Chains A and B, each alone.
Chain A
Amino acid sequence: MTLQIWILLAVFLTFGLYVGIALWARVSTTKGFYVAGQGVPPFFNGMATAGDWMSAASFISMSGLIAFLGFDGAMYLLGWTGGYVLLAVLLAPYLRKFGRFTVPAFIGDRYYSSTARVVAAVCAVAVSFTYVAGQMRGAGIVFSRFLEIPIGWGVVAGMTMVAFYAVLGGMKGITYTQVAQYAVLITAFIIPAVGISLELTGGALPQVAFPQVATQLNLVMEDLGFGAYTSPFTNLSRLDVMLITMALMCGTAGLPHVIIRFYTTRTVRGARWTGVFALFFIALLYTTAPAVAVFAKFNLLDTVVGERYEDRPEWFRTWEDTGLLEFQDKNADGIIDFAPGAMRDPASANELYVDPDIMVLANPEIANLPDWVIAIVVAGGLAAALSTASGLLLVIASSLSHDIFKTYVRPNASEREELLVARGAMLGAVALAGILGVFPPAFVGEVVAFAFGLAAASFFPAIVLGIFDPRTTREGAITGMLAGITFTAFYIITVAPGIGIGWDPWFFGISPQGIGTVGMLLSFVLTFVVSRLTPPPPPDIQELVQRIRYPRGSGAAIDH
């Protein structure tokens, strides 16, 4: 059987499974559409959270970025797991006790202001939309490479899939389809990692095998004139690495589509256990990812660098066709040379360009694993992109229909009208995100990092202070959210190279991925100061803040 047929089979079977579940769980009331009637046990809820959470950034992009960053790639690994500690101890139990469906609803009630709610809804849409755009690019890369169609059509194929079952299934469908998607993506990530680990070291556990391979990789890299793979701060400054880590952590804790997952359990206790299971399932991938990075880099250098271009392997040719892998024989010796610097820079001796976003997909081919493994990896990459996209589309839909349409535009809208707005919002978001998928502002993992920076700068301070500081006022929260997201978005837009304005990093040389931390500090300070300068919140709100400290009487989340 050829590779093409294996891939079609894997994609067809897994999608059949997801759509089957979505149809089986089809719901028609708004409450079910948003949070599945709160009947999901923590084990499955944790698994769904992990599936929701781990996107094309984690699955397709991250290991490739780490492979080129070396030690510094730890910022993605620590940032995207450490955030769960913040989420679990600072936010989840209290938000669950507070019992509102969405983050904007929480903000609106806690800050006794529908303006605050609308500001939060706008932030939620901005964050989620940036994130979805990254997923569309990820899905597009997968489709275009393996169906051998241009990247634009790849993105269109991805958009169609997402729109279809997000609109059809609603949250109940999404919760259980996400459990299925998690199962598919984790299998797809671990099988090739174990296969390559066995090939390179004879040991089956990638987590145990990768440090010794990293030591070998160090020697190869030093031979080629690079710094050692395991040496810190060779690509980014220490400050930048730390700020990016912090932005990703606080962004995790402020991400609306992750927070909403904690409402799908019945109790505060259940919300705590959801966190435990979620990080367990996430860590399975995140502890394997650095191993995949080391293996992929090692195999890449081992199989092509210093070889004759004429004799390049089959996978090299197919990726060349997509334009995501390039070779330029600068010294005309017919040998593939790999050296520090960019291939397109004439001053550099480097003759090879590899887009980091293809490393995970190309990895099993480079290692010569069987075709069915490659097919599973493709199915896993799609599962990752689509599961996260559907969770985020739900946030966009609920923010626009619940928090803006029903609260502001038409308070007495019927359930039917509200659902209609929700579905329309999803389709609109899919279409816009598709455009950004065709014209991407940065690599998938980086675009997603921007979304986290925006979340950290807008939601994290308002939610944490809202829970722990009864004196925080609506004026403080609104000022903080607006200042944080405006500063961060402005910096990303002006500095990120893919967007086209391309200013130098004008704030202490900080990269656009790390600026969210600065935006967040700004927001914390402003929220705190403005709160002290404005009249205190009404007594019933201060009492409410006291009440969410104790789990008793959490009941069902309130829909309004």
Chain B
Amino acid sequence: MEPEQKARDGYWKGNLILIVVLLSIWFAFGFVIPYLLGPWLNQFTFLGGPLGFWIAQNGSIYVFWILILVYALQMNRLDQRFDVGE
């Protein structure tokens, strides 16, 4: 296999792993925690209100933003490491 092709495979594999990790967290905060655990989490108090409610209506949004930020930063590093960037 040509070295260039090897680098490309490594880059794509790194990209896919990152996607799987980020989307697992996305699913946890988009569905599992607010809707499946939300009712149970409501027994705890956060900022003077029920915790499950807060995560469903505010907390998860902050997590989503962090996920996109992490993706942009990590992909820029991958671009440089495998030298496929612009």
Binding site for B on A (CB under 8 A): 66, 71, 73-74, 77-78, 81-82, 84-86, 88-90, 93, 207-208, 210-215, 230-233, 238, 241-242, 245-246, 249, 267-269, 272-273, 275-276, 279-280, 283, 286-287, 290, 549-554
Interface contact B65-A74, CB-CB below 8 Å: no
Contact indicator per residue, chain B 47-73, by CB within 8 Å of chain A (1) or not (0): 111101110111011101101110110
Interface contact A89-B86, CB-CB below 8 Å: no
17 more A-B residue pairs beyond the given contacts A77-B61, A269-B86, with a C-beta to C-beta distance below 8 A = A77-B57, A77-B60, A78-B30, A78-B60, A81-B60, A82-B60, A82-B64, A89-B23, A214-B49, A232-B56, A242-B31, A275-B71, A276-B69, A283-B64, A550-B8, A551-B79, A553-B86
Who on chain A is nearest to B76 by CB? Answer: A269
Given contacts A89-B19, A275-B72, A550-B8, contact A290 B58 (CB under 8 A): yes
Given contacts A74-B34, A82-B60, A249-B30, contact A551 B84 (CB under 8 A): yes
Most buried by B among A78, A207, A214, A280: A78
Most buried by B among A238, A272, A280: A272
B43 → chain A closest CB, angstroms: 11
List the A side residues contacting B67 at CB < 8 Å: 85, 88-89
A218 → chain B closest CB, angstroms: 8
Binding site for A on B (CB under 8 A): 8, 11-12, 15, 18-19, 22-23, 26, 29-31, 34-35, 38-39, 42, 46-50, 52-54, 56-58, 60-62, 64-65, 67-69, 71-72, 75-76, 79, 84-86
List the A side residues contacting B62 at CB < 8 Å: 283, 287
Interface contact B72-A273, CB-CB below 8 Å: yes
List the B side residues contacting A86 at CB < 8 Å: 23, 26
A84 → chain B closest CB, angstroms: 6
Interface contact A552-B84, CB-CB below 8 Å: yes
Who on chain A is nearest to B79 by CB? Answer: A551
Once bound together, how far apart are the Cα atoms of A443 and B54, in whole Å? 25
14 A-B residue pairs with CB within 8 Å: A77-B57, A77-B61, A78-B56, A88-B72, A207-B58, A211-B50, A230-B50, A231-B42, A232-B42, A232-B52, A272-B76, A275-B72, A279-B65, A283-B62
List the B side residues contacting A552 at CB < 8 Å: 84-86
B29 → chain A closest CB, angstroms: 8
Interface contact A73-B8, CB-CB below 8 Å: no
B42 → chain A closest CB, angstroms: 6
List the A side residues contacting B30 at CB < 8 Å: 78, 82, 245, 249
Given contacts A211-B47, A272-B76, A290-B57, contact A554 B86 (CB under 8 A): yes
Interface contact A78-B71, CB-CB below 8 Å: no
Interface contact B53-A272, CB-CB below 8 Å: no
A278 → chain B closest CB, angstroms: 9
Who on chain A is nearest to B39 by CB? Answer: A232
Once bound together, how far apart are the Cα atoms of A84 and B29, in whole Å? 14
Interface contact A269-B64, CB-CB below 8 Å: no
Given contacts A82-B60, A211-B47, contact A549 B72 (CB under 8 A): no
Return the 3 tightest CB-CB contacts between A and B, nearest first: A211-B49, A212-B48, A74-B56
Interface contact A268-B72, CB-CB below 8 Å: no
List the A side residues contacting B86 at CB < 8 Å: 267-269, 551-554
List the B side residues contacting A287 at CB < 8 Å: 58, 61-62
